Amino acid sequence: MRRRVVVTGLGAVTPLGNDVATTWLAMRAGVSGASNISKFDASAFPVRFACEVKGFDPLQSMERKEAKRADPYTQYAVAAAVEAMNDAGLANGGFDVDRTGVIVGSGIGGLKSFEEQHDIYQKRGVSKISPFFIPMFIADIASGVVSMRFNARGPNYATVSACATSAHAIGDAMRTIQYGDADVMICGGAEATVTPMAIGGFANMTALSRRNDSPSTASRPFDATRDGFVMGEGAGIIVLEELEHARARGARIYGEVAGYRATGDAYHLTGQLPDHEGLQRAMRGAMQDGGLTPADIDYVNAHGTSTPLNDSNEAKAISLVLGASAASVSVSSTKSMTGHMLGAAGSVEFIACTLAIRDQLVPPTINLATSDPDCCGLDFTPNASRKREVNAALSNSAGFGGHNVSLAVKRYQD
């Protein structure tokens, strides 16, 4: 009998809001987080907009000295972790520190710090490189800082798998609890890539939408006129607990993490197998792991990047995996509102699935005017959220390098 794992805390910093409640209200309302880039002068760039985190104050969750020595991606992770632990009722202790771990990943890490310190080196020489540069930049440091914040001395590491990063973190945290290596896990991902190099690099590989005249309508997953994703940033952190541990302390339970499967394409640096076959295997594996059938799935939060290749491939994968049940399943891409948060995407989308179950409501895919006929006629919940029964959901993630993850979450029942 493997141990059951439940969700007891949620935290988020997103382009829609700097906490879960604000983010979820905006998702439910179909609000876009996209606007012209304000974090640097993008006037000469081919893409001049993004889904930025707005009005964020790291001093709400970190001391001034600590914040000064942390890249924004770490600041976002700490803020989301503090919210999640408060939400779980664990921020002030009440847990065995040796049985509490942290897995917080980042697809790219402290890119802003890297760019800034390289600029200092070029202009002022090697002696002016900050002694804090390396811990500001490396992709594992957010996990370490979060562990120190809560004195969590259990398993601690970062996942790095591009846009599947935080989905891997959640799945690995689930397994850690199931295997008995921890009772509580703080998990998820963070990203801060609205920077010149990230925007320029993704733009030059033609991955980003170029709708500079209309940022709020640029992210349009599954629409026939989609032309690329919109860069997003932020963090999503989840507190997972072993069921009996949560029950013993009277914790509020959002839902149960039912299944997890990670697969690899072994195919292409940035492309996907036909019909997203690797993601098909991940979805089937997550359902099998959770004892679920296609008929049990009510909602799929799609990877749904708004890129021509991904969306049609993923739609085919969903249709093939769910079969006859696909017609009755609600699908949506919340990236239409948050943009693509890269290493933080999977955890924020898992939060959306968890809240969809709590509220019996599916968030929309906004900017969907003309559904692509190559997307299998699925119900993509266009433009407006929808009340419906949601007892089980899949959250899909995929990343450059051929990484695929599907997570299954379901309503908690004794």
Residue by residue, what is the 3-state secondary structure of 176-210? HHHCCCCCEEEEEEEECCCCHHHHHHHHHCCCECC
**H-helix or E-strand spanning residue 348:** helix 345-359
Cα separation, 192 vs 72, in Å, equals 6
Is the separation of the CB atoms in 306 and 229 below 8 Å?
yes
Measured CA to CA, the distance from residue 376 to residue 399 in angstroms comes to 22
b/e per residue 342-366 (b: at least 16 CB within 10 A): bbbbbbbbbbbbbbbbbeebbbbbb
- Residues 112 and 198: their CA atoms lie apart, in Å, by 9
Strand-pair partners of 403: 264, 399
Whole-angstrom distance, CA of residue 266 vs CA of residue 324:
29
What letter would DSSP give residue 70? Answer: S
Do the Cβ atoms of 27 and 341 come closer than 8 Å? no
Residues acting as catalytic residues: 163, 303, 340
For 303, the 3-state DSSP assignment is coil
Classified as helix, coil or strand, 391 is: coil
CA 308 – CA 227 distance, rounded (Å)? 7
Give the phi and the psi of residue 318 in degrees, each rounded to 5: -60, -45
Distance CA 396, CA 407 (A): 7
Strands 49-50 and 156-157: unpaired
